[in-house]
Structure formats: C-alpha cells, structure tokens
Amino acid sequence: MPVRAAGSDEEARRERRQLWTLVVLAFVTAGALLALVVGAARRGVLSSRLVAANSDLPPPPATTDLETTALGSEPVWQLACGFVGPAAARCILYLADASGDLVEGSLSFPVPRAWLARFPHATAVDDPQVIRALVRTRYAPAGGPGMDSLAVSVAPSFAARLAAAGVTPQQFLAWLYQNVPVRDRPPWVRGG
C-alpha cells in the first residue's frame, strides 16, 4: 500500500473546498440573477426595454387623451370579424403593447353568424359598418377574471377608424366593458 504524503492530503482537501465554494457561489449568483430578471419582468421594465431595443417599429404617437391611450394599457389596433365553421362567427380585437408590437393574446369573442352575414364587407378589417353596428349590440366579450383584469384602451390610429364609423373611443370602450362591473373597469373607461 503506497504511503501518501501529509501535504498532498491537505492540498486535495483545500482544492475540494475551493471547488465547493465556487459551486455554491455559482448557484447563489445564478439565483440572484434569476430573481432580478423575474422581478424586472413582473414590473414590466425588462420586457418593454427589450422590445423597445429590438423593435423596428416607431413608437406610437404621444397623446394626452386618455380615451385613446393610457399608460400601462394594451390599445386596440384593429378589429376583424370572420366566419368560423358553418354555424358560428367571431370578432377579434388585435391589441398592442407599449411599443406598438401586437401581443399574442388578442381578444376574441363570438357573434351570431346571421348578424355578421348581413354586412356586405363583414370580413374586411376595421369595416365601419361592422364597427358601428357592433358597438350597438350586446355581443361584447364576456366578463370574468380575464376581462376584469385587462386594461384596454384605443390606439390613435384605431380612434381615427372609429371616428370614420361615427363612434367615439369612449363609446367603443363602454361597449367593450359592458359585461364588466364598473368597479373592475380601468379608470379611463366611464360607466356605460
């Protein structure tokens, strides 16, 4: 049996301690970075800065009109309706984030097929006749946890399309939130 020198055992223990110290420090550093990223993403700082830095789109026009934009909201940029299968139809509100990029979870809601079929250009994006008629219906998205927590406003470009249909942004938002209790609506949406 070979005899080891006492110095080599001590050196091996010191190397193992250094290795474990480095492993523990790596885990602590990774945990701190993860906590920082999660905290920044929850506050919206990280995602909006990354999107703004990587976006080729110009920022949306600045406005102080709370009917058309609201800080921290997702503005409606487009409305499109279409027929789904032989007996149904849906309308989709395309929403955008603060930098103007469309968000993945657009707002979709059912409408009666017969109601939509009576418009000559029913499937055209932002059709003024469909917008005007839709705002006078009860076919708004259903209330509930999803809609109650959604802060929707109107993009300036969509506000111009609403005006062409004879609808104000406030009328549109009152229609959109008609199934949400007044206390759960965003502050810029008046009771309707």
Phi, psi of 144 (to 5 degrees): 130, -175
* Rounded Cα–Cα distance for residues 141 and 148 (Å): 11
- Could you tell me which of 106, 114, 112, 107 has the C-alpha nearest to residue 141? 107
pTM > 0.85: yes or no? no
* Rounded Cα–Cα distance for residues 166 and 42 (Å): 38
Q: 């959109």: which residue's tokens?
A: 176
Q: Which residue has the higher pLDDT, 48 or 84?
A: 84
Alpha-carbon dihedral angle through residues 112, 115, 116, 118, given to the nearest 10 degrees = 150
Question: What distance separates the 2 farthest-apart alpha carbons in the chain?
Answer: 97
pLDDT band at 59 (very low <50, low <70, confident <90, very high): very low
With 50 as the cut, is the pLDDT of residue 57 above it? no
Query: Is residue 151 within 8 Å of residue 70, measured between CB atoms?
Result: yes
Q: Which amino acid is at 182?
A: V
**pLDDT, tens digit (0-9, with 9 covering 90-100), for 8-41:** 888 888 888 888 988 888 888 888 887 776 666 5
Neighbour tally for 36: CB within 10 Å: 11
Average pLDDT, rounded, for the chain: 79
DSSP-H helix ranges across the chain: 6-43, 45-54, 113-117, 128-134, 145-148, 156-164, 169-176
C-alpha distances (whole Å) from 177 to each of 138, 145, 153 are 10, 13, 11
C-alpha distances (whole Å) from 92 to each of 20, 72, 78, 136 are 55, 21, 8, 17
According to the model, what pLDDT value does residue 138 have? 92
Q: 């990587």: which residue's tokens?
A: 54
With 90 as the cut, is the pLDDT of residue 2 above it? no
Query: Is residue 115 within 8 Å of residue 122, measured between CB atoms?
Result: no
